[in-house]
């Protein structure tokens, strides 16, 4: 928490810090619009968590908040409001993962982070198809053994139908 406050002090931002009875803290920042920005930090497991909304008009303060979210690996949704549209930036773990341009008519996706490597790893680790193939081969072997032992033609035909379905499924999975 000290380094967070020091970041603002180093940039010349005036602020007040209120320490509450339960160890939580409240940081009050003055903005250009003559309004105060109240950031309440709740202490959880030796971490300070800030939840809430605020509107900041001072560009230097906006950049400091962006830097703080990035530095402290925060999750946030930041709206930059322009006369004709709003740009919505979504941060996860301090990194921008999505940018959307919002107008009164529509939303336009500008950027979205794709964890391609993570998705490929997950796909690679999925082995459901391989498990199904092993299971199907075991069923085929079992049915072939049973077919060879049986003399009844009608049972053999029934097993042949089942084998045909299983081999078709195997062909599809292995393709």
pLDDT exceeds 90 at position 45: no
Q: Which of 154, 155, 80, 137 is nearest to 110 (CA)?
A: 80
Which band of pLDDT confidence, cut at 50, 70 and 90, is reported for residue 170? very high
Question: Of all helices (H) and strands (E), which one includes residue 163?
Answer: helix 153-174
Predicted pLDDT of residue 46: 83
Predicted pLDDT of residue 128: 84
Determine the Cα angle at 33 with ends 38 and 84, to 5°.
105
pLDDT exceeds 90 at position 102: yes
Q: Which of 56, 52, 18, 7 is nearest to 35 (CA)?
A: 56
Contact 97, 90 (CB under 8 A): yes
Q: Which of 118, 121, 102 is nearest to 110 (CA)?
A: 102
- For residue 157, what are its two tokens? 């035909």
Which band of pLDDT confidence, cut at 50, 70 and 90, is reported for residue 1? confident
Contact 32, 14 (CB under 8 A): no
The distance between the two most distant Cα atoms of the chain, rounded to a whole number of Å, is: 95
Q: Which residue has the tokens 């380094």?
A: 3
Mean pLDDT of 26-49: 85
The two beta strands, 16-19 and 107-112, are unpaired
Q: What percent of the chain has pLDDT over 90?
A: 45
Q: pLDDT tens for residues 59-90?
A: 888 888 999 999 999 999 999 999 999 999 99
Which band of pLDDT confidence, cut at 50, 70 and 90, is reported for residue 173? confident
Predicted pLDDT of residue 58: 84
Sheet containing strand 25-30, strands side by side: 16-19, 25-30, 36-44, 47-50
Going from N- to C-terminal start, the domains of the chain cover 1-69, 73-113, 122-174
């Amino acid at each position: 928490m000290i380094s967070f406050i020091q970041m603002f002090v180093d940039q010349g931002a005036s602020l007040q810090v209120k320490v509450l009875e339960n160890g939580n803290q409240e940081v009050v920042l003055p903005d250009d619009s003559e309004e105060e920005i109240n950031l309440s930090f709740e202490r959880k497991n030796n971490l300070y968590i800030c939840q809430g909304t605020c509107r900041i008009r001072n560009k230097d303060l906006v950049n400091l908040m962006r830097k703080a979210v990035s530095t402290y690996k925060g999750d946030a949704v930041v709206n930059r409001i322009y006369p004709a549209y709003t740009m919505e930036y979504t941060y996860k773990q301090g990194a921008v993962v999505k940018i959307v341009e919002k107008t009164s008519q529509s939303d336009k996706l500008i950027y979205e982070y794709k964890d391609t490597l993570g998705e490929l790893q997950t796909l690679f680790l999925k082995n459901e198809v391989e498990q199904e193939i092993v299971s199907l081969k075991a069923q085929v072997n079992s049915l072939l053994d049973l077919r060879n032992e049986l003399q009844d033609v009608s049972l053999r035909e029934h097993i042949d139908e089942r084998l045909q379905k299983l081999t078709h499924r195997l062909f599809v999975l292995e393709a």
